[in-house]
Amino acid sequence: GAVVSQHPSRVICKSGTSVKIECRSLDFQATTMFWYRQFPKKSLMLMATSNEGSKATYEQGVEKDKFLINHASLTLSTLTVTSAHPEDSSFYICSASGTGGFHNEQFFGPGTRLTVL
């Protein structure tokens, strides 16, 4: 159990376009989802936390109008990078936690590699 998927796994886009990344919990209800960003050879940096049906809470320094997060259902959260620029190129990873036996830890997706040309 506790499988989290991300789609797409890899995306290349032109500067100025918007890109949407999906994060799904496949076998449990994710009451909370987290979005991380990882630069090459660096650790994970938390971008935002979202609870189902509520607005996301963004970490300091993360532009909420740049990185739009929607958590409209208990199995799906989306991260939209608006007007992407080359400096937004990164590895984006989501994680999810739920209730009951899924409350104790975060379960991570496989990540999405975004390259902005």
For binding to other proteins (CB under 8 A), which residues are involved? 6, 32, 34, 41-44, 46, 49, 91, 93, 95, 97, 104-111, 113
With beta carbons less than 8 A apart as the criterion, state whether 77 and 98 touch: no
What strand order describes the sheet that includes 67-73?
Answer: 4-7, 19-25, 76-81, 67-73
Smallest distance from the beta carbon of 52 to other proteins, in angstroms? 13
Residue nearer to other proteins on the CB measure, 67 or 107: 107
Smallest distance from the beta carbon of 42 to other proteins, in angstroms? 7
Residue nearer to other proteins on the CB measure, 54 or 83: 54
Residue nearer to other proteins on the CB measure, 37 or 116: 37
How far is residue 116 from each of residues 3, 53, 93, measured CA to CA in Å? 28, 30, 17
Q: How many residues does the chain have?
A: 117
Measured distance CA(30)–CA(85) in Å, rounded = 30
Smallest distance from the beta carbon of 82 to other proteins, in angstroms? 24
Smallest distance from the beta carbon of 74 to other proteins, in angstroms? 16
Residue nearer to other proteins on the CB measure, 49 or 82: 49
